[in-house]
Every structure is written in structure tokens, then in C-alpha cells.
Structure 1
Amino acid sequence: GEENRFHHTYVQFMADLGTRSKQAKTIAIQRRMDKLGERYCDGAINAMEYLNGLSFVVAKGKK
């Protein structure tokens, strides 16, 4: 968890890539939520899978 996150950030820093901006993170979260909504509306996932997916997206954003 934390060690992997540090390593990822370190590699980005050493490659002079920087870290993702808040806006980029927000866009990524919105895309995940939109995709879940599409899958739910298309019937590819049920309501429980949709809610579980949303909770995962929100929890992942809290790191």
C-alpha cells in the first residue's frame, strides 16, 4: 500500500513526470463513475454491483 505509493511517486519524480494534478484526479474519478453508470443503465451490472463500484471509487479517492 503505502510503500507502493511512495515508490510510484518516487519513480514519477525521478523521471520528472510530476504527480497528477487535482483536476486530473477529479476527471479520472468522474470517468469511473460515468462508466459504472453506463454499465448499470445497459444492464451489464445490477444495483448492488453499481453501488459497490461507487463505494470503491469514493474510498479510493480518500487516500
Structure 2
Amino acid sequence: MIIMCGRFALTEDWSQITAYFGITEYDYAIPPRYNIAPNYDSPYVSVAGYVVFQTR
């Protein structure tokens, strides 16, 4: 992840992210995005290992 001016980028492939966190069940794919504004919905992985979409 690259942080810049309140915006950030999701540069990794979704399959790499889910593999890193050990997430095996998901029914969606998130493409890399390079200009995510703070008010856009964006994924994050919770402590329990769930993927959640949240508007920051």
C-alpha cells in the first residue's frame, strides 16, 4: 500500500492479499486501484480475518 496526501493505492492483486491473510472464502475480487480517496469504499481485513468494506 502506498500512502499519499490522504489518498492511498491498493497495488497488490486480490489473490495475493487473501493468501497473505489466510482468507479462503470470498466471492468477489478487488482490482488494484491507484487513487483511492478517503471517502471511497475500500476493503480492509479485520482482526478476526473477515474482509469488510468501509467508507473512511
- Give the helix-richer structure, 1 or 2: 1
Which structure exhibits the higher relative contact order, with contacts defined as CA atoms closer than 8 Å and separated by 6 or more residues?
Answer: 2
Q: TM-score, normalising length from structure 2?
A: 0.30
**Structure with greater strand percent:** 2
TM-score (normalizing by structure 1): 0.28
Between structure 1 and structure 2, the one with the greater Rg is: 1
